[in-house]
Structure 1
């Protein structure tokens, strides 16, 4: 279905090709997973299939790419629209209309499909992706994950023969990601759709792939093969594969189920050994404050919860030991009650992961903490100030936010100019921001324009800009979106260093592996309410949705990461000799 013939892509002013020597065939009716470190050209390879490269991105394409017999050099994206459906890393750049239902219908209308066909396909897609309740909602009011589902749905309705997806699950909660992957499998298995997908969260998708296409380094020839074979030599691999390498399992497992079938001897070796407990710089993580009673709800659950309080395991920290506190926080966004009676405190040196399904209120809570949204009930204090009532220039010294869309923070024409501006704004010594960029994003030249960076690279740059001011409270919204495992490991190292220095870190994330590696506490939100708040191991191990792969494999023991297991086994007992790449170090 897709044929690459000696394909290479070189952009202007680049000292080497982004892609080189791509010569392979993607068969019809297969799901092919494209993997590799950040910046190796995955998005560029996808763009050659959709026609975006070189028609919209520029650069020089040599060789030949054909999709269903059409040459993408001579067919522009609009001439491939009936054949290829594309969803990029940024769903906002994809939307044309204002509401969910209109967006799902737009592609079919452009192709001139009959109204009754359009009506049926819209309803099917709403049900497939769990969007029925959002059909009339303005797209601008949706969460990032909900927008991503709409973007995927809008390319499904025309029934293309080829789907090109760039990080399709990056902003989705675990349950929504499973639903989307199930839909893709159904399209592949039942309709013969060809799916070419790039994804960094391999723990979610590698077990569903028919083949894996590895780009090992920029300009290097790709490797196409069976998932287990490619994972054995890939520089990026999911935790379950990393655990298999550590335990010496052959062949390597690709799913939690495969790993659990072989894990009994490993569980026996770990029996009686306690996993290390995360602690803050000043000692064990402070126990969370008691949450306020949930808002009244209907049905049996409402009657059971209505008169009860979510009790904490220890008294709340004193005001002197708190960087940020929300008390009975309520917040409405238009018709939606986004937060209801949320009580939360964050202590210095503590890392808190906010988790929950898309639309649960995580980003809204971060926006309230930074002062972007005004509470409609309760109160928020950060550094003793009310964020919404305090001038932004004053708040920036107390709290920094890295948003889901890093481009919102990027205005300059080069990486060097962005860093210079960040140093000036923060009153930091020249070169402070650039040093952080080099740590998070090695190898990016000063003259690079931020728009030429990948989504993950832009995120790392935005994080460096915010970290330059060293705010006591750092807020991050989906900070690993678009990051490979090595970049995630570097991010974890930076955030741990900040926590050790006494900075408080709050991250809203769907990345259960990141929460397991980094967070002292996990707070789970549902429909704007806090439904769980406690130590990471206690909260996530018992959760089918939010447990990391290692916890699922080794349950009921409370092991969260491969690194914990590696430390417990000791170097003498571990068959693994290479560095860890499957989970942050």
Structure 2
């Protein structure tokens, strides 16, 4: 179905090829997973299948890529549209209409499908992806996760033979991610659709893959094999694999179910380990921010309804909930993007929607879901210099932070030419350079590999230890388990849970991390906790 023959791609002015020496065959009806560090060339490889590389991105493509017998060098993306459906990392860049239903129908209209066929497929897709209640909603009013589902749905309605997806679950809550992956499984198993996807959240997808392609980066040759074979040597791997490696399990488990079958002796040993005393957080002193019975309306939608929340220095709080629950609206209210329809918001004694931006900058900083909203310069170096000036930091502080979070991003690169993960890293550094007393992050690990996420965790812990407050809206349950002292859950704009992370997430099947599901009762949420408790190597 898809064949790569000695494929290499080099972009203009790049010091090295984005990908090099790729030989790969993906049969019909298989799900192939691309893994690798941020910037290792996953998006480039996906673009070569759809024809976006090199026809849209430019650069030099060597070797040969064929899809359903069509050479992508001689077939432009429009010539492949009937067989290849593509969903990129940025849903907004994918849309061409104004409402959900129109977007789902657009691709079929372009191919001239009959009206009755279009109507049936739209209804099927609305049901498959849980979008029926959103059919008449303007796309600009949707949450990030809702947009992601619409982007995937607009491709599914065309019934392509090949689906190419870049980070398809990165903006989805755990339940929505499971729905999307179930749909992909159904397409692969029942309809013989070939799926090629790149995803950093391997804990969600690796168990469904038929084969895995590891792109190590740095010019190294790809590694191709079964999921268990590749995970045994991959530098990026999910917690279930990390636990299997530490415990010496063979073959390595790829799912919670596989791990639970092997974990009986591990659970017995943990049951005899004294439970460590809970680590006290430094959430003392005057509050950094207070929301008191806050309500916010966005158009006809009540995005927040009577939310009360206090954020204190030294505390890391995870804000979780389904897509559209109001998480981004709550963050936006703390930086003055939304005016409350009821209740009050106070940040450092300021009312955010009335405060001067420069005054507010020292109190609170937000990294939004779309990092491009913060980036306006022509190069990475210029963005960093501007951040140093705006935040009153020592020259070079922002650049050093970028290098610490994700090494290897060049000074002269335009932010638009960065991968999604690299662009997010730059935006994080821009905000953190000002060292605001309260740091807000909206899906901060979207597009980040495990190594970059570990570096981010270190940075945020250091900020918390220095007395900063951290509030992060996330669907990444592993991040919450590793970093957050406290977890807050929103549903339909209302606060429904607020407490210590171990208590809140373990009691929720949707938000429990993999380790908690494997080892059962107890305070064990992460692999390092288990390794330390049992003295595993």
TM-score by length of 2: 0.99
| Gap runs ≥5 in structure 1 | 287-316, 577-585
**For 1:233, what is the secondary structure of its paired residue?**
coil
Q: How does 1:261-272 map to 2 (within 5 A)?
A: 261-272=261-272
1:486 counterpart residue number:
451
1:445 counterpart residue number:
410
**For 1:505, what is the secondary structure of its paired residue?**
strand
TM-superposed deviation, 1:267: 1.0
Deviations 1:341-391 (A, max 9, x none): 001001101000000000000000000011110000000100011101111
Q: How does 1:236-251 map to 2 (within 5 A)?
A: 236-251=236-251
**For 2:305, what is the secondary structure of its paired residue?**
strand
Deviation >6 Å, runs of 4+:
none
CA distance in 1, matches of 2:108, 2:28: 23
2:34 counterpart residue number:
34
CA distance in 2, matches of 1:443, 1:339: 40
Q: 1:553 aligns with which of 491, 496, 518?
A: 518
Is contact 2:317–2:487 with CA below 8 Å preserved after alignment? yes
Deviations 1:518-547 (A, max 9, x none): 000000000000000000000001110000
TM-superposed deviation, 1:431: 0.7
**For 2:515, what is the secondary structure of its paired residue?**
helix
Q: How does 1:176-255 map to 2 (within 5 A)?
A: 176-255=176-255
CA distance in 2, matches of 1:269, 1:24: 44
Is contact 1:402–1:466 with CA below 8 Å preserved after alignment? yes
**For 1:159, what is the secondary structure of its paired residue?**
coil
Greater mean alpha carbon deviation, residues 386-395 or residues 521-530: 386-395
Is contact 2:281–2:315 with CA below 8 Å preserved after alignment? no
2:401 counterpart residue number:
436
TM-superposed deviation, 1:272: 3.6
Q: 1:387 aligns with which of 352, 355, 369?
A: 352
Is contact 1:278–1:285 with CA below 8 Å preserved after alignment? no
**For 2:232, what is the secondary structure of its paired residue?**
helix
Q: How does 1:459-478 map to 2 (within 5 A)?
A: 459-478=424-443
2:323 counterpart residue number:
358
Is contact 2:281–2:314 with CA below 8 Å preserved after alignment? no
- The answer as to 2:45 corresponding to 1:45 is yes
Q: How does 1:156-175 map to 2 (within 5 A)?
A: 156-175=156-175
Greater mean alpha carbon deviation, residues 260-269 or residues 199-208: 260-269
TM-superposed deviation, 1:274: 4.9
Q: 2:309 aligns with which of 344, 367, 379?
A: 344
CA distance in 2, matches of 1:486, 1:212: 19
Q: 2:281 aligns with which of 273, 280, 284?
A: 284
Q: How does 1:475-554 map to 2 (within 5 A)?
A: 475-554=440-519
CA distance in 1, matches of 2:139, 2:531: 45
Q: 2:291 aligns with which of 302, 326, 345?
A: 326
**For 1:284, what is the secondary structure of its paired residue?**
coil
Deviations 1:112-156 (A, max 9, x none): 000000000000000000000000000000000000000000000
CA distance in 2, matches of 1:73, 1:399: 49
CA distance in 2, matches of 1:231, 1:284: 35
TM-superposed deviation, 1:277: 6.2
Deviations 1:43-76 (A, max 9, x none): 0000000000001111100000000000001111
TM-superposed deviation, 1:483: 0.3
**For 1:568, what is the secondary structure of its paired residue?**
helix
1:314 counterpart residue number:
none
**For 1:533, what is the secondary structure of its paired residue?**
strand
TM-superposed deviation, 1:396: 0.7
TM-superposed deviation, 1:16: 1.1
Is contact 1:35–1:198 with CA below 8 Å preserved after alignment? yes
Greater mean alpha carbon deviation, residues 437-446 or residues 468-477: 437-446
Deviations 1:137-184 (A, max 9, x none): 000000000000000000000000000000000000000000000000
CA distance in 1, matches of 2:184, 2:271: 39
CA distance in 1, matches of 2:320, 2:61: 42
TM-superposed deviation, 1:273: 2.8
Is contact 2:201–2:238 with CA below 8 Å preserved after alignment? yes
| Gap runs ≥5 in structure 2 | none
- The answer as to 2:4 corresponding to 1:4 is yes
CA distance change for structure 1 residues 276 and 366 in 2, over 3 Å: closer, same or farther?
farther
TM-superposed deviation, 1:220: 1.9
Deviations 1:396-435 (A, max 9, x none): 1100000000011111111110010011111111111111
TM-superposed deviation, 1:445: 1.6
CA distance in 2, matches of 1:516, 1:104: 36
2:155 counterpart residue number:
155
Deviations 1:213-264 (A, max 9, x none): 1111233221111100110000000000000011111100000001011111
**For 2:471, what is the secondary structure of its paired residue?**
strand
1:260 counterpart residue number:
260
TM-superposed deviation, 1:8: 0.3
CA distance in 1, matches of 2:413, 2:273: 49
Greater mean alpha carbon deviation, residues 354-363 or residues 217-226: 217-226
